[in-house]
Structure 1
Amino acid sequence: MEALKNQNGITLFEVLATITILAIITPLIFGVLTNGQKEYNNQSGNNRHLSNITYAMNAITKDMRCNPSDVNLISSSILETLNCDGTTTNLYKFDNSDVNNMKLLLNGTPLLEHIVSFNVSPDPSISGTNYKVTIGYLDKRNNSKNYETSIKIR
């Protein structure tokens, strides 16, 4: 009997308590990690999409400012400009023929995909010749967002 009293170790109760605590904490940790990864993927997708929209807006602005007298607003979703080289015509057109993947086309080639609207209109709020360009898109959570810029022709 003396030998049993002096033994050091853990009891069955301590093992069960440890397993119970781990069973509670482990799903919480994995839930936090899973949600963090999901948010990271959503944000990186949104950032890529916004980067593409910014590129398109910069291209439109550059074309409109290079030859301001050759800007032709055919309709609110079709814009024709003369390229900076002065010889090539650029045609920006909103293509909504595929409802699941609406596009902004540049001379028939997709410049932007997965947008919901493209609108160009004269902007009378600023003196001179100005245009307001708006591109609507859906973020990764399907919230409708608008990216808008005013282009002042100099």
Structure 2
Amino acid sequence: MSNSNPPTVVRVGVGVVVKDPRDPNKVLCGIRKGSHGEGLLALPGGHLELYESWENCACREVLEECNLVLQRPVEFCHVTNDPMPSEQKHYVTIFMMANCEVTNPPQIPRNMEPSKCEGWQSFTWEELHELQKEKKLFGPLDRLVQDSPSTVKDFISS
């Protein structure tokens, strides 16, 4: 297969709706760098590894990217189908949601992958809707906000 042919495999991504431990009415997002969706806001997450559970993937990715430990259980909240033809990629994204483990002082998100993310900020669900209208969200997060599942809205507001 030559490099000009698009891949024929759909990849599985896991995105994590993580409440900011300093402000539980907001979720953590970062601006992507050095990959597809560069310059757009995304949730922490990444590829599901072979034989890995969705929960373990969510915990691993959030620790690797944000240096945060999640409370278990981490719960499923939504799934999206995310074709990205302009980038010759196609993902199915499984969204999980979680709180951080309670510590004193609260955990603080740290940017553990500065070559992949500009840094972590937190946003309300309403702020994400406004950013979605401005086309500033990475494809899977954009679809999640469009779909606006009650599981996510209830989680953020609880």
TM-score, reference length from structure 1: 0.26
- Answer 1 or 2: higher relative contact order, Cα 8 Å, separation at least 6: 2
Highest Rg: 1 or 2?
1
TM-score, reference length from structure 2: 0.26
